[in-house]
């Protein structure tokens, strides 16, 4: 398919005597013609960034859309704007299919410019591009439906049929290792494309009402975005973070600040001897995402090689996303299943069983510090000195609070099983 786009872009370049670039309707680069000009102005900052990063900024997109390109049915001439980094004027050929814009072909305007006959011929080629883009979008929607079916089908023959359909839909890209990524909460439709993704879909939370799932389309509040990531190596974190960095700002209706994709060097820089050379999700996420909307988290599963294992991988990804929300800065905003510790077990507990009376006794408004004191004390393996330092209180204050914890819960914190119950109850309450 990419070769088809390149051939059509080259055809337009030959017709109009100028190098052309093709972007989808989200201003993501698809193909571009060769640049052999010695004129420095032929590669202004906007064009250079589009080719090197394969996308345009939101500001550039807004500026160009202000000329009505999304509504146009014919070529649109756009003047130069040096202050915006556009040193040369543009000719935009809207790429449409059945009246719906699918993308844009861009050319640098020049004197005397192409004649009307050449532009008409180029628009005919743009229509052929529109058909290809529309077919690709339909294929993506089909993938979303098949992917969603695998994640939501029950066990047995229904899941076997869903996996078989997804395998056919994915084709060669279904081979090899994959990981599941959960971004939650998700509001709106699934993105048309995600870097490194084999499929995406919107998945309703359990108990999120009786609304029908809408793969590839709009999803009401109470939904998560599922992303199937193709892996080339054993570590799913780096490719997952590349995808997540593009998704986080859109997760809550696009209210987040723009994310900054990390380079391989940035991700590699998070490796340290303390973690045995492995990339930790909190450190890597800090280098790859920024300005994340409050309350939005993401989870990454372990790698799987069989599509039949995708439901289990999705459970891991959702559990990791819930753990990131529960644990706060220690894990989030991006957590790997392999790194969420006790939440791996707690997340599998039925939601109605999470509200343990032990935790409930400490979480009332009359005891705002007791639950935190008990949790920090247990996180510190019952070492009073460490816990007092972490809480910033005197050790005698810690002992007083722990005695109040024992009075309210009826537990004996000198007993291992009582400590385990309290610790798990407090952690589980975070997931509720």
We report the CATH number of the domain holding residue 42 as 3.30.450.40
Contacts for 41 with CB less than 8 Å, ≥ 6 apart: 87, 88
424 part of a folded domain? yes
For residues 321-331, give the mean pLDDT. Answer: 82
The two structure tokens encoding residue 252: 């809550």
Task: Pick the last residue of a domain from 292, 317, 346.
Answer: 346
What is the pLDDT at residue 56? 62
Same domain, 124 and 58: yes
279 has a pLDDT exceeding 60: no
431 has a pLDDT exceeding 80: no
Closest CA to 192 of 183, 201, 184: 201
* Ramachandran region, residue 98 (left: φ > 0; alpha: ψ -120 to 50; beta: rest): left
Same domain, 207 and 222: yes
142 part of a folded domain? no
Q: At what angle do helices 384-391 and 395-409 cross, to 10 degrees?
A: 100
Q: Which of 50-54, 226-230, 400-404 has the lowest mean pLDDT?
A: 50-54
140 part of a folded domain? no
Rounded to whole angstroms, the Cα distance separating 130 from 102 reads 6
What is the pLDDT at residue 11? 93
Closest CA to 202 of 162, 250, 165, 259: 250
Contacts for 157 with CB less than 8 Å, ≥ 6 apart: none
Q: How is residue 176 annotated by DSSP?
A: S
Which pLDDT tens digit goes with each residue over 345-360? Answer: 777 664 544 567 777 7
Task: Pick the last residue of a domain from 99, 133, 167.
Answer: 133
Rounded to whole angstroms, the Cα distance separating 77 from 109 reads 8
Q: How is residue 332 annotated by DSSP?
A: -
Q: Which residue has the higher pLDDT, 88 or 396?
A: 396
pLDDT band of 164, cuts 50, 70, 90: confident
Same domain, 183 and 321: yes
Q: Which of 45-49, 54-58, 208-212 has the lowest mean pLDDT?
A: 208-212
Rounded to whole angstroms, the Cα distance separating 424 from 415 reads 14
Q: Which of 50-64, 105-119, 223-237, 266-280 has the lowest mean pLDDT?
A: 266-280
Same domain, 101 and 157: no
267 has a pLDDT exceeding 60: no
Number of domains in the chain: 3
Rounded to whole angstroms, the Cα distance separating 299 from 191 reads 18
Same domain, 266 and 219: yes
| Beta-strand relationship, 100-108 and 178-184 | unpaired
Domain that holds residue 375: 351-431
């Amino acid at each position: 398919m990419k070769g088809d786009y390149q051939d059509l872009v080259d055809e337009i370049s030959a017709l109009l005597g100028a190098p052309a670039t093709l972007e989808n309707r989200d201003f993501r680069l698809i193909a571009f013609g060769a640049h052999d000009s010695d004129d420095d102005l032929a590669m202004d900052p906007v064009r250079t960034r589009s080719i090197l990063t394969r996308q345009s900024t939101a500001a550039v997109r807004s500026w160009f859309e202000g000329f009505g390109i999304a509504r146009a049915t014919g070529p649109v001439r756009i003047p130069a704007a040096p202050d915006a980094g556009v040193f040369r004027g543009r000719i935009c050929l809207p790429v449409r299919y059945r009246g719906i814009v699918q993308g844009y072909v861009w050319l640098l305007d020049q004197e005397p410019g192409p004649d009307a006959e050449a532009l008409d011929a180029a628009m005919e080629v743009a229509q052929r591009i529109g058909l290809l883009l529309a077919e690709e979008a339909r294929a993506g929607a089909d993938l979303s439906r098949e992917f969603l079916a695998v994640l939501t089908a029950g066990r047995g023959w229904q899941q076997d049929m869903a996996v078989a359909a997804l395998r056919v839909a994915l084709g060669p890209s279904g081979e090899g290792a994959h990981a599941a990524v959960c971004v939650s909460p998700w509001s709106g439709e699934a993105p048309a494309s995600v870097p490194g993704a084999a499929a995406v879909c919107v998945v309703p939370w359990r108990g999120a009402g009786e609304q029908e799932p809408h793969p590839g389309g709009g999803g009401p509040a109470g939904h998560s975005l599922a992303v199937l990531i193709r892996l080339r190596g054993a570590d799913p974190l780096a490719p997952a973070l590349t995808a997540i960095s593009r998704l986080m700002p859109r997760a809550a209706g696009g209210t987040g600040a723009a994310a900054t994709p990390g380079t391989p060097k940035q991700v590699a820089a998070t490796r340290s001897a303390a973690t045995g050379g492995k990339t930790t999700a909190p450190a890597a996420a800090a280098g790859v995402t920024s300005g994340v909307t409050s309350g939005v988290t993401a989870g990454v599963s372990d790698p799987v090689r069989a599509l039949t294992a995708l439901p289990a991988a999705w459970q891991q990804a959702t559990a990791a996303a819930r753990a990131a929300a529960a644990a706060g800065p220690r894990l989030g905003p991006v957590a790997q299943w392999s790194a969420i510790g006790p939440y791996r077990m707690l997340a599998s507990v039925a939601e109605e069983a999470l509200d343990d009376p032990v935790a409930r006794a400490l979480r009332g408004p009359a005891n705002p510090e007791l639950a935190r004191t008990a949790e920090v004390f247990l996180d510190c393996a019952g070492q009073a000195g460490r816990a007092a330092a972490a809480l910033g209180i005197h050790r005698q204050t810690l002992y007083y609070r722990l005695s109040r914890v024992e009075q309210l819960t009826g537990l004996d914190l000198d007993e291992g099983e009582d400590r385990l119950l309290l610790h798990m109850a407090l952690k589980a309450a975070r997931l509720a």
